[in-house]
Chain A
Amino acid sequence: MIFPEALFKEKTNIMYILGISAFYHDSAACLVKDGNIVAAAQEERFTRKKHDMNFPAKAIEYCLKEAGITINDINYVGFYDKPFIKFERILYSAFQYAPIGIGMFLKAMPPWLKQKLFTRKVIHKELKYEGELLFTEHHESHAASAYYPSPYTDAAIITVDGVGEWTTTSYGIGEDNKITILSDIKFPHSIGLLYSAFTYYLGFKVNSGEYKVMGLAPYGKPKYAHIIFEKLVDLKEDGSFKLNMQYFNYGAGLTMTNSKFDTLFGDKPRKSESKLTQKDMDIASSIQFVTEEIMLRIVKHVYKLTKKKNLCMAGGVALNCVANGRILRESSFDNIWVTPASGDAGGALGTALFIWHQYLDNKKVVIDNKDKLSGTYLGPSFNSSEIEKFLIENKANFIKLENSELPGKIADLISEEKVIGWFQGRMEFGPRALGARSIIADARSKNMQLIMNQKIKFRESFRPFAPSVLEEHVSEYFDIHQESPYMLFVADVAKEKLTNFSDNQDDKCGLDKLNVIRSEIPAVTHVDCTARVQTVNRDENPLYYDTIKKFYEKTGCPVIINTSFNVRGEPIVCTPEDAFKCFMRTNMDYLILGNYLLEKEEQAELKNDIDWKNEFELD
């Protein structure tokens, strides 16, 4: 028999840590219970405002609800960076570039004086929390988000992003429960900012359009790489680098590049939404190539220095899955693990785990060589009664499928070239949809890439789609020989699966390359015959796995398209309502919400929804 006192004691011994990232971009919250990640979510999913930077009140509310606790049960709150050091950088930059920096200073000051300098007070006030509040450095948070959830107890760590407080790139080691940062590169010398400068120059939004540059790169050739290395980047043998700030304006101004940069590349920055030229594609290809070369050199140096077998990576640049693919193939590390929430949202996870392991000195345990992210399914879920209630209230026509018949039915629909909104279980944490909030379709279809881009996602035609593949079949279809559950590595499509497209077709330029059928799975084969692979295993997501398996049994193909459940500019759907609206507004054919299947043709039109395309600002 357990005495009530014993129960009480056990309860009070539980340690809850709440991690927060906020006020810059991608606000998020993460709750850790005795070192285990209970919940994590980005604020944008709740507020429906992409990259929402406000205090993550709704994400925190969700995390507490998921654990069944209140703020009074929290032992520590962690914030993912140190605002004062960041403030120091901004003052220093304004001073250094004076009087030119006055414009930047004038814009930067108000949010700092109104809110960011008072981050401590704001957090206490918003949370109604009087307990301990700790601040970890930005790159410590990234390093922690990379190492602590990883399946290693001994690893090298690399973090690369735009900028934190001062640091833009760092490397170190993780041994047992301790992280040691060995070296860093400081602002304004930054790979992330270099990539963002080109993103800006190519007419895409900084901080959200970088993945478009990555997607555009294979349409071009790296003709300008030598200019970038000669004029913009001084790259050393050990991977350290300096940017030539004469060509950039982000140190002191309100743009990323300046007129000298324009002269170097022979044009002003491309206007947003204007036609993409071959030159744009060549520039995208060049900066992608340069980024890969810098990353590879850093990785090689870190290996030489640390001699670790394992490598963990985080930071916004670690979401460059083309570079990650090259690191996987070309570096000497045996194993590489990239945290799926590599951007600033992951800082919430990092700071919470940093407090648990580094500050409170708790052991890091790895069980069965598995990471601690549970497939990143760390967000909200909705049970059958909640979904059914919503559907009835909204007069939706639906049928209910049993768990046993769901995979077969969905596999049939995919094979009939139907596009399906897939809403199952807990939402993913991080920027990728991984089979919880996804749009899925047939990867074998010749027209599906175009249909999905233009009629479902309403986005640029050049952008590729990613495949989900049964883990045991990954090497048959792609040149990758390890699991890739978080869609963070790009690999070549296996030679055996490529079709014999002629040299004449391969010579096509620019967006004409899109119209060439290159493999047995053309909808997920990018123009350079690569794909951003997600491997699916039954342990992490049984329903998704079973559905692909049924599709495989029916068609002989273990690969389907998986893209995020949203339209351009919209955060990935969170609730059944978000999913239903997105389904009704686009040309998706079916929606599977838990066990409930909806066919588009059976639904009445959404009322009062005429202006929805203006609801989300284009990214």
Chain B
Amino acid sequence: MAKISIIRELWDFMKVRKKFWLAPIIVVLLLLGILIVFTQSSALAPFIYALF
């Protein structure tokens, strides 16, 4: 359920920000990201600002 609503929220977000060009990037990057999550056990972002 949460996964579906997040897709809706992301879609609303792109509509409001008028950034539809982000859609294919989001899809590809999300797929890649999901792959990363599933292929590693733990992940801690390094403590630098840009990642935040």
**A binding-site residues for B, Cβ under 8 Å:** 24-25, 84-86, 88, 90-95, 104-114, 117-118, 120-121, 162-163, 187-188, 190, 192-193, 196, 200, 205-207, 250-251, 254-256
Are A94 and B29 also in contact (CB < 8 A) when A114-B37, A121-B2 are?
yes
Q: Is the CB of B34 within 8 A of A113?
A: yes
Residue of B nearest to A250 (CB): B50
A109 to B38, CA, bound (A): 11
Q: Is the CB of B50 within 8 A of A110?
A: no
Give residues 3-50 of B contacting A (CB, 8 Å).
Answer: 5-6, 9-10, 13, 17, 19, 22, 25-26, 29-30, 32-34, 36-37, 40, 43-50
Q: Is the CB of B51 within 8 A of A107?
A: yes
Are A84 and B9 also in contact (CB < 8 A) when A110-B43, A162-B49, A205-B47 are?
yes
Of B6, B34, B36, B49, which one neighbours A106 at CB under 8 angstroms? B36
- Chain A residues, CB < 8 A from B44: 111
- Chain B residues, CB < 8 A from A114: 37
Q: Is the CB of A90 within 8 A of B51?
A: yes
A106 to B34, CA, bound (A): 10
Are A193 and B50 also in contact (CB < 8 A) when A109-B37, A113-B34, A121-B2 are?
yes
- Chain B residues, CB < 8 A from A254: 46, 48
- Chain A residues, CB < 8 A from B6: 117-118, 121
Rounded to whole Å, the gap between the CB of B28 and the closest CB of chain A is 10
Q: Is the CB of B22 within 8 A of A91?
A: yes
- Chain B residues, CB < 8 A from A190: 49
Q: Is the CB of B9 within 8 A of A91?
A: no
25 A-B pairs in the complex with CB atoms less than 8 angstroms apart: A88-B17, A88-B22, A94-B29, A95-B29, A104-B51, A107-B46, A108-B51, A110-B43, A111-B44, A112-B33, A113-B33, A113-B34, A113-B37, A121-B5, A162-B49, A163-B52, A187-B50, A188-B50, A200-B48, A205-B47, A206-B47, A207-B49, A250-B49, A251-B50, A254-B48
- Chain A residues, CB < 8 A from B45: 107-108, 110-111
- Chain B residues, CB < 8 A from A93: 50
Rounded to whole Å, the gap between the CB of B52 and the closest CB of chain A is 4
Rounded to whole Å, the gap between the CB of A189 and the closest CB of chain B is 12
Interface-central residue, A84, A85, A121, A200, by most chain B CB under 10 Å: A84
Count CB-based A-B contacts (< 8 Å). Answer: 92
Residue of B nearest to A168 (CB): B49
- Chain A residues, CB < 8 A from B13: 84-85, 88
Closest 3 A-B residue pairs measured CB to CB?
A110-B43, A109-B33, A162-B49
Are A25 and B37 also in contact (CB < 8 A) when A91-B26, A108-B45 are?
no
Q: Is the CB of B37 within 8 A of A118?
A: no
Of B29, B32, B52, which one neighbours A24 at CB under 8 angstroms? B52
Residue of B nearest to A117 (CB): B6
Interface-central residue, A111, A192, A205, A256, by most chain B CB under 10 Å: A111
Rounded to whole Å, the gap between the CB of B14 and the closest CB of chain A is 9
Residue of A nearest to B34 (CB): A113
- Chain B residues, CB < 8 A from A112: 33
Q: Is the CB of B52 within 8 A of A86?
A: yes
- Chain A residues, CB < 8 A from B9: 84, 120
Are A110 and B37 also in contact (CB < 8 A) when A85-B17, A88-B17, A91-B22 are?
yes
Are A110 and B52 also in contact (CB < 8 A) when A88-B17, A88-B19, A91-B26 are?
no
Q: Is the CB of A107 within 8 A of B50?
A: no
Rounded to whole Å, the gap between the CB of A191 and the closest CB of chain B is 12
Residue of B nearest to A111 (CB): B45
Of B2, B17, B25, B49, which one neighbours A118 at CB under 8 angstroms? B2
Rounded to whole Å, the gap between the CB of B3 and the closest CB of chain A is 9
Interface-central residue, B19, B50, B51, by most chain A CB under 10 Å: B50
Interface-central residue, A93, A104, A200, by most chain B CB under 10 Å: A104
Q: Is the CB of B10 within 8 A of A110?
A: no
Residue of A nearest to B12 (CB): A84
A192 to B49, CA, bound (A): 9
- Chain A residues, CB < 8 A from B40: 110
A135 to B25, CA, bound (A): 24
